[in-house]
Amino acid sequence: MNIFVGNLSSQTTEQHLTAQFSPFGIVRNCKIVTDNYTGRSRGFAFVEMPVDAEAERAIRDLNGTAIDSQSIVVNEARPRVERERFSRSRY
């Protein structure tokens, strides 16, 4: 299951986030999303846990808890919706 983690502090690292989720089960992947230009955290991440029951327990128990003085939002990630790209030139 892919898990969305929001409202992250800019100090939160992927290692720290993995450590928060590991007590609930195997963490296959953890990726903090960064700005393409500055390289700074955009304040959210995705954590992948292969066992759905473990992921659901992590979501339930970690949602609303504090990491690096920030109350985080944790829920099942929704599929990305592709948006139509607009160019500056219409002709």
- Residues whose CB falls within 8 Å of the CB of residue 76, separated by 6 or more in sequence, listed in order: 1, 2, 3, 4, 55, 59
DSSP 30: E
Q: Is the predicted pLDDT of residue 80 greater than 80, yes or no?
A: no
- Residues whose CB falls within 8 Å of the CB of residue 54, separated by 6 or more in sequence, listed in order: 24, 25, 26
Q: What local confidence, expressed as pLDDT, does residue 89 receive?
A: 58
Q: What local confidence, expressed as pLDDT, does residue 86 receive?
A: 62
Q: Is the predicted pLDDT of residue 91 greater than 60, yes or no?
A: no
Q: Is the predicted pLDDT of residue 90 greater than 80, yes or no?
A: no
List, for residues 12-69, the tens digit of each pLDDT value. Answer: 999 999 999 999 999 999 999 999 999 999 999 999 999 999 999 999 999 999 999 9
Q: What local confidence, expressed as pLDDT, does residue 81 receive?
A: 75
- Residues whose CB falls within 8 Å of the CB of residue 1, separated by 6 or more in sequence, listed in order: 48, 49, 50, 51, 52, 55, 56, 76
Measured from the Cβ of residue 70, the count of other Cβ atoms closer than 10 Å reads: 16
Q: Tell me which CATH code domain 2-76 carries.
A: 3.30.70.330
> Residue 9 — very low, low, confident or very high, per pLDDT cuts 50/70/90?
very high
